[in-house]
Structure 1
Amino acid sequence: MQCSFVEHRNYKVVYRRYASLFFLVGVDNDENELAILEFIHLLVETMDRHFGNVCELDIMFHLEKVHFMLEEMVMNGCIVETSKQNILAPIQLMEKTS
């Protein structure tokens, strides 16, 4: 596991690597870096649950689903949902109806 924080002017970039994937989140200096790392980890776990072992192709070919997951997790810049089941429920419902 590798994680890093980079500060630049009044902002921070929090990033984490999972195999060949890098996830980056830009935040202001008031944000808690560890909370952002937990958010990244939750996102990756949620994508793993949906796609199996998530890879670049899953994200590239199903970008709308990844955006939908993020929209379920974050609203107005705040994390509002942390339950993987609740995040994936609307996506699973849409897949059943199509």
Structure 2
Amino acid sequence: IHFVLTFNKQGRVRLGRWYSTFTPKEKTRYTKEAISNILSRREKDCSFVIWRDYTLVYKRYASLYFMMAIDNTDNELITLEMIHRFVVILDKVFLNICELDLIYEFEKVCYIYVFYPLTI
């Protein structure tokens, strides 16, 4: 996993985590490109996008998109399952997760995010 982003329908990033080394300019450019790439897709399209040297795996829950950038050789279905399990954990903690929980309970979300095992 190279980076993880959570953003809304308007493209505002609500949560982001970078696991590979990128410069701040690259982070900004990659964030904008990845989000615009995903938001331009139709609802019936596949949840996997080949982008640059990565595969973007995303899932939409209500008004939030959860996205992970992985290597092209990684398993997309396992990554999709990781996203789903993370959302289930957030849903149990916040009793129906919404965008406002990510904004107003940011510390709690970050705590869950840091200690959530990103491997199955």
Larger Rg: 1
**5+ residue gaps, structure 1:** 83-98
Please give the alpha-carbon distance, in whole angstroms, between the structure 2 residues aligned to 1:68 and 1:22: 20
1:54 — aligned with what?
Answer: 97
Normalising to structure 2: TM-score of the pair? 0.58
RMSD: 1.9
Query: AA paired with 2:113?
Result: L
Please give the alpha-carbon distance, in whole angstroms, between the structure 2 residues aligned to 1:58 and 1:10: 33
Normalising to structure 1: TM-score of the pair? 0.69
Query: AA paired with 1:62?
Result: E
Q: In structure 2, which of residues 57, 65, 75 is the aligned counterpart of residue 32 of structure 1?
A: 75
- Where relative contact order (Cα < 8 A, 6+ residues apart) is larger, the structure is 2
Query: Does residue 21 of structure 1 match 2:64?
Result: yes
Please give the alpha-carbon distance, in whole angstroms, between the structure 1 residues aligned to 2:74 and 2:109: 23
Please give the alpha-carbon distance, in whole angstroms, between the structure 2 residues aligned to 1:58 and 1:22: 14
**5+ residue gaps, structure 2:** 1-42
The alignment covers a number of residue pairs equal to 77
| Runs of 4+ deviating beyond 4 Å | none
Identity of aligned residues (%): 44
